Amino acid sequence: MERGEPAPDFELPDQDGRPVSLTGLLREGPVALFFYPAAMTAGCTAQSCRFRDLAAEFAELGASRVGVSTDSVAKQREFAERNAFDYPLLSDPDAKVTAAYGVARGVAFAPTRRQTFVIGADRRIIEVVKSEIRMNVHADRALAALRRQAADPAG
């Protein structure tokens, strides 16, 4: 998945079992969709907490934050409750969405690549952030891309 491509639509359950679709999220504005390997691991917690801690900055830009992993709904709920996440964590246990976004790794202990897709309201990908080891870069670069988009909507 590259900048400018259309983001695949999906519907997955959130940490409370409620269905969430990309189409529904985009009605509210752009989306920072981040994938992580496993809930409640150190790196994934750091990555997810950074998105939580920048809530005001994302809200200022009218953007939603959404995390996705192959963890179960129950594990996502525990992860969200432990860390007071104020955004949806989606469960993709069969890795269909993970595969559609090209981030499936196929390794049991880390089935998903750590990547973030910033998606405009038109469903086009604005930015792709790839880093397995720099956890904060995902939220930081997503915000930078959203700010650039807000400053120059045509470009």
Question: What is d(CA 71, CA 131) in angstroms, rounded to the nearest whole number?
Answer: 20
Question: What is d(CA 89, CA 109) in angstroms, rounded to the nearest whole number?
Answer: 19
**Residues 20, 22, 26, 44: which is the catalytic one?**
44
CA atoms within a 13 Å half-sphere pointing along the CA-CB vector of 111:
16
Catalytic site includes residue 49 = no
**What are the helix (H) ranges across 5-136?**
22-26, 42-53, 55-60, 73-83, 96-100
Q: What is the CA radius of gyration of the chain?
A: 14
Residues with catalytic annotation? 44
